[in-house]
């Protein structure tokens, strides 16, 4: 609608939580997430979506951080969708891992082996289908997903239970405001409706992971219709965080985090070139959605790589200039030079690259929450572990420990 006075013009597509016009309005509230414990060399990890493919590869990244003795320095863990399952598993078991010194044996015993055991012997998709009768009333498929995730992985853990040593960030997309919605230990919300405290809400970690993983079409939006936000005038409607930022990196990309070493894994799906089959309307919409996803991911990747390149203009121990970062970004299909630096060659000699399973590249494993064979699960964990080591050997060799001290995950 367009009133006669141009200054009062209202766009028909405006959300009441965003404000009028084409610019989102920050809420202006003062509540902010608590800062994690100090660290001499803080590390952040961001874990993308991509179903169980992403979950398992992310567990490989986390295992490398343990193997390289970087886990005690982890202070930020941000994730979406399948990566949020791995993030939630790490958060759930963090106190026990800390008690055992963050060893690889502890990570295997408490996190990786039980997760592989569950994924390789049961189908989450079938468990959801068997429980569809529960959605006959007000409960939805996304509510059911939260219950199943709690039963499988999180055992009733609440957000407010999480260890404050790390800032745990689970990202969803808020359809009401069009922005990133965050679930953290102490707060949840987005920058247009403001943040609300988790204290007293009994909000479960599984609900945050379900919202982060609620793939459009398969799951309806998760509605937070019983929560009050400082500037909220509409109910947050939450879907898969990958629809907004599949790398999960936006939460920690400001200058405030300049000196935090950033490890990014993108296990998202690949755009397949060529003609799509199927019904014309569905086919074309799927193709357009893939193009939009590819563009947004490529833009974020390009910006991150440019900031990493600025960080390489100074020595590893020198202060970073504005706009620069240090870190690595890997995808499951990342190629490293056949003959690179001495450290990369040494890494390859010590730990062979295995990027296929049953003759197929691991980046092409379907984006599903279904049962996967144990050898495939092991291959994905190894792939995430190997990529992290190869990236450090190539770009930050001084951060790579002596390879003889490392213990690769079993294949």
| Range with the poorest average pLDDT among 110-119, 136-145, 249-258, 326-335 | 136-145
pLDDT at 11 (0 to 100)? 34
- C-alpha 107/C-alpha 101 separation (Å) is 10
Cβ–Cβ < 8 Å for 245, 180: yes
pLDDT at 315 (0 to 100)? 85
- C-alpha 32/C-alpha 27 separation (Å) is 12
**DSSP letter string, 86-148:** HHHHHHHHHHHHHHTTT-HHHHIIIIIHHHHHHHHH--HHHHHHHTGGGGGSS--HHHHHHHH
pLDDT in tens, 343-366: 999 999 999 999 999 999 999 999
pLDDT at 14 (0 to 100)? 47
- C-alpha 334/C-alpha 301 separation (Å) is 13
User: Is the confidence at residue 216, as pLDDT, over 90?
Assistant: no
pLDDT at 398 (0 to 100)? 92
User: Is the confidence at residue 272, as pLDDT, over 90?
Assistant: no
User: Is the confidence at residue 209, as pLDDT, over 80?
Assistant: yes
If DSSP codes are grouped into helix, strand and coil, which group holds residue 23? coil
pLDDT in tens, 10-21: 333 345 545 544
Across 265-279, average pLDDT: 70
User: Is the confidence at residue 283, as pLDDT, over 70?
Assistant: no
pLDDT in tens, 45-67: 999 999 999 999 999 999 999 99
pLDDT at 6 (0 to 100)? 36
287 pLDDT band (50/70/90 cuts)? Answer: low
User: Is the confidence at residue 185, as pLDDT, over 90?
Assistant: yes
If DSSP codes are grouped into helix, strand and coil, which group holds residue 44? strand
Cβ–Cβ < 8 Å for 42, 369: no
Q: How high is the mean pLDDT of the chain?
A: 89
- C-alpha 274/C-alpha 9 separation (Å) is 43
């Amino acid at each position: 609608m367009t009133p006669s006075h141009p200054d009062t013009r209202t766009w028909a597509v405006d959300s009441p939580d965003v404000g009028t016009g084409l610019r989102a309005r920050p809420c202006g509230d003062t509540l902010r997430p608590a800062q994690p414990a100090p660290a001499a060399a803080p590390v952040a990890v961001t874990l993308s979506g991509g179903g169980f493919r992403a979950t398992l590869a992310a567990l490989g990244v986390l295992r490398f951080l343990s193997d390289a003795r970087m886990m005690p320095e982890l202070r930020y863990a941000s994730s979406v969708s399948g990566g949020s399952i791995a993030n939630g598993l790490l958060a759930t078991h963090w106190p026990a891992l800390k008690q055992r010194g963050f060893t690889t044996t502890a990570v295997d015993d408490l996190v990786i082996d039980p997760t592989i055991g569950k994924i390789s012997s049961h189908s989450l998709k079938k468990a959801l289908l068997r429980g569809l009768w529960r959605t006959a009333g007000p409960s939805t498929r996304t509510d059911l997903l939260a219950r199943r995730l709690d039963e499988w992985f999180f055992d009733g853990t609440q957000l407010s239970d999480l260890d404050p040593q790390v800032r745990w960030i689970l990202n969803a997309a808020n359809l009401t405001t069009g922005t990133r919605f965050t679930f953290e230990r102490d707060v949840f919300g987005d920058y247009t409706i403001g943040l609300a405290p988790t204290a007293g809400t009994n909000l479960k970690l599984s609900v945050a992971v379900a919202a982060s993983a609620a793939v459009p079409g398969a799951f309806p939006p998760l509605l937070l219709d019983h929560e009050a936000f400082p500037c909220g005038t509409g109910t947050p409607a939450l879907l898969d965080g990958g629809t907004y930022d599949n790398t999960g990196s936006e939460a920690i990309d400001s200058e405030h985090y300049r000196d935090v070493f950033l490890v990014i894994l993108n296990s998202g799906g690949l755009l397949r070139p060529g003609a799509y089959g199927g019904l014309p309307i569905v086919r074309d919409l799927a193709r357009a959605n893939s193009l939009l996803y590819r563009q947004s991911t490529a833009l974020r990747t390009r910006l991150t790589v440019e900031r990493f390149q600025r960080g390489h203009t100074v020595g590893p121990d020198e202060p970073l200039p504005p706009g620069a970062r240090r870190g690595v970004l890997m995808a499951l299909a990342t190629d490293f030079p056949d003959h690179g630096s001495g450290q990369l060659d040494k890494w390859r000699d010590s730990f062979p690259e295995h990027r296929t399973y049953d003759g197929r590249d691991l980046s092409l494993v379907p984006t599903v929450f279904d049962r996967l064979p144990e050898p495939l699960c092991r291959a994905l964990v190894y792939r995430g572990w190997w990529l992290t080591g190869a990236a450090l050997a190539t770009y930050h060799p001084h951060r790579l420990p002596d390879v003889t001290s490392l213990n690769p995950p079993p294949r």
